[in-house]
Amino acid sequence: MNDAPPPLALLLELSHRCPLRCPYCSNPVKLEPAQDELDTEIWARVIEEAAELSVLHVHFSGGEPAVRPDLEALVRRAAGLGLYTNLITSGMLLDRARVVALAEAGLDHVQLSVQDARPALADAIAGFSGAHEHKQNVAGWAREQGMSLTINAVVHALNADGVREIIELSRTLGAGRVEIAHAIHHGFGLVNRAALLPAPEAVADVLSVVEEARERLVGVLVIDYVPPDAYGRLPRACMGGWGRRFMNITPKGLALPCHAAETIPGLCFDSVRERSLRAIWERSPAFQRFRGTAWMREPCRSCERREVDFGGCRCQALALTGDASNADPVCERSEHHADLAKFVEASSGRRRLPLVPRRKGPARSAR
């Protein structure tokens, strides 16, 4: 039986194509080819069904969503239906004219990724020469058009010492919010998990910087912080709980309860090519599988936090324990928590492992 309210947000992965080659990329190792992407008509129907389902936010993402020439048309459709529109972008395929066009289409908000505040390191992580400078231009164009701006910064071993400067850069660019989020280890990012994991003392330093900046910049800049699960004691409610607040549509049209759900074996995900969003949300076995608490084993089943964290991340439980039904190993009550601690300890001696880029080949140039 479905007892979940309508989803708050819909993430549309318009394409897996992306000009960057970030080593922490959470998209799958095998990306969807361009020829398998949904066409404009189907994406527009999905947006209409989202409005009918009482979705509040539509996030246009990827890969890089600006690779799609129909991005403006899709934003216009969502805005016309009263949906709050957010573009999650690297900025690398945007110029001033296109930012103006997106604003005219009704885009409310831009979430712009930055890899670091130091230009050379930022470009090296992105694998794109001149990326840092171009991103700053994109931020300026978005603010000129009156759009809200959030800076997204993924934190890992290479840039953890630069968080203070990233926060200051976000303020300088006129962002209202910055998200300082430690790298998650799903998809391609799992390849670089040991190399990306910062040392415990670096994590403590990041938290100290964030707390100081939050106090200093209150009323100026909102700072969201996502700590690394590897050093946690209690799990978070992944995506607000499986199938409770969020739907993710892949480039080829599969509807997922979370970004990495396809990694879980035995689940069959419905396609928006064949079923409506409402039917998927309310009746799809994949969305029902870990929704609520009935599926839980011990220690989750009797835990007083079971309706707070909903067992944590199912994909992480799979990746680290081999079974998506196990307690998230981040939880100190999990029988696998000690295994996670052993991994962290083993990784601490391998800080200088080379990172594998998302794509092979020389860095590209923004010029």
Maximum Cα interatomic distance, the chain, rounded to a whole number of Å: 58
Q: Nearest to residue 315, comparing CAs of 190, 159, 136?
A: 190
| Domains in the chain, CATH or no CATH each | 1-361 (3.20.20.70)
| Reported confidence tier of residue 356, pLDDT bands at 50, 70, 90 | confident
φ/ψ of residue 145, rounded to 5: -85, 0
The mean pLDDT of 332-338, rounded to a whole number, is: 91
Can you tell me whether residue 141 is helix, strand or coil? Answer: helix
Determine whether the annotation assigns residue 313 to a binding site: no
Amino acid identity, position 55: V
Mean pLDDT estimate for the chain: 92
Position of tokens 């100081």? Answer: 212
Q: Is the pLDDT of residue 87 over 90?
A: yes
Q: Is the pLDDT of residue 130 over 90?
A: yes
CB atoms inside a 10 Å sphere around CB 54? 11
Stronger pLDDT, 60 or 5, i.e. the higher one: 60
Q: Nearest to residue 160, comparing CAs of 225, 205, 104, 120?
A: 205
Rounded to the nearest 10 degrees, what angle do helices 131-144 and 96-105 cross at?
40
Q: Nearest to residue 234, comparing CAs of 306, 180, 315, 183?
A: 306
161 alpha-carbon distance from chain centroid: 22
CA 124 to CA 120: how far, in whole Å?
6
CB atoms inside a 10 Å sphere around CB 119? 15
Is residue 40 within 8 A of residue 112, CB to CB? The reply is no
Q: Is the pLDDT of residue 4 over 80?
A: no
Instruction: Dump the DSSP string for 235-284.
Output: ---GGGSTTTSEEEE-TT-BEESSTTGGGSTT----BTTTS-HHHHHHH-
Determine whether the annotation assigns residue 258 to a binding site: no
CB atoms inside a 10 Å sphere around CB 338? 11
Report residue 111 as tokens: 């979430």
Determine whether the annotation assigns residue 300 to a binding site: no
Q: pLDDT tens digits for 204-254?
A: 999 999 999 999 999 999 999 999 888 888 998 888 899 999 999 999 999
